[in-house]
Amino acid sequence: MYQKKNRKAILKNISSVETYEVRHPVLRQGKTIETCYFEGDLLPESLHLGLYLENRLVGVASFLKNKHKLFLGNQSQLRGMAVLPEFQKNGFGEMLFTAGEKQLKENKTNILWFNAREIAKNFYLKQNCTVIGEPYEIKGVGMHFLMIKEFSYSL
Ligand SMILES: CC(C)(COP(=O)(O)OP(=O)(O)OC[C@H]1O[C@@H](n2cnc3c(N)ncnc32)[C@H](O)[C@@H]1OP(=O)(O)O)[C@@H](O)C(=O)NCCC(=O)NCCS
């Protein structure tokens, strides 16, 4: 069990391939490493964040340059949000989400959208995201919700 005291979490911008260390066991367990690749991973505008504890990568999140047909404006898609099981519920997911948001705002992103797994929906609601429409099934992965977070800017 993870002991929080005396351990400092460090956030870094990393490459998409570095995220596989967490994407694979958390989101693609039992599947080939190639399944960890997401379309848009390698675009120069895509952002990958890693959370380290004493040099160990324990959480990742990717903010990919990808448009959703329902939305207008400068968009990003959140993918690969994952924290290793033994480190979950310690605030690391929130740290990754908040750090991503900060960088998206610096780039004047209008909307962050994503397909949220049903089990993670309440985590995203806590990050003030909104569900759009009805849940839907993604084959082999389960029920999902389209969720968004909108950003506005004063002139
Ligand atoms: C979803 C996930 C990234 C959240 O990361 P985390 O580090 O465990 O989350 P945090 O500790 O930062 O949680 C922030 C808040 O959300 C809550 N929360 C976290 N995961 C939750 C969940 N699955 N359901 C409900 N609430 C959750 C926490 O209790 C906390 O609430 P609090 O501030 O009131 O205490 C992590 O649980 C995970 O990797 N899950 C498996 C992979 C997955 O489903 N990824 C999402 C794909 S869409």
- 72 assigned to some structural domain: yes
φ and ψ at residue 33, rounded to 5 degrees: -65, -30
Contacts of 44 (CB under 8 A, 6+ apart): none
Position 3 in a domain: no
* Position 18 in a domain: yes
* Beta-carbon-side half-sphere exposure of residue 132 (alpha carbons within 13 Å): 14
In a domain, 115, yes or no: yes
CATH of the domain at 83: 3.40.630.30
Q: Is the CB of 116 under 6 A from ligand 1?
A: yes
The reported pLDDT for the residue numbered 106 is: 95
Residue 82 near ligand 1, beta carbon < 6 Å: yes
1 assigned to some structural domain: no
* Predicted model pTM: 0.95
Burial (0-12, 13-18, 19+ Cβ within 10 Å), 74: middle
pLDDT in tens, 7-23: 789 999 999 999 999 99
Position 2 in a domain: no
Q: Does residue 92 lie in a domain region?
A: yes
Q: Is 4 in the pocket of ligand 1 (CB under 6 A)?
A: no
**Tell me: the pLDDT tens digits for 71-110?**
999 999 999 999 999 999 999 999 999 999 999 999 999 9
Q: Give the residue numbers spanning the domain of 106.
A: 9-150
Question: Is residue 66, in this structure, part of any structural domain at all?
Answer: yes
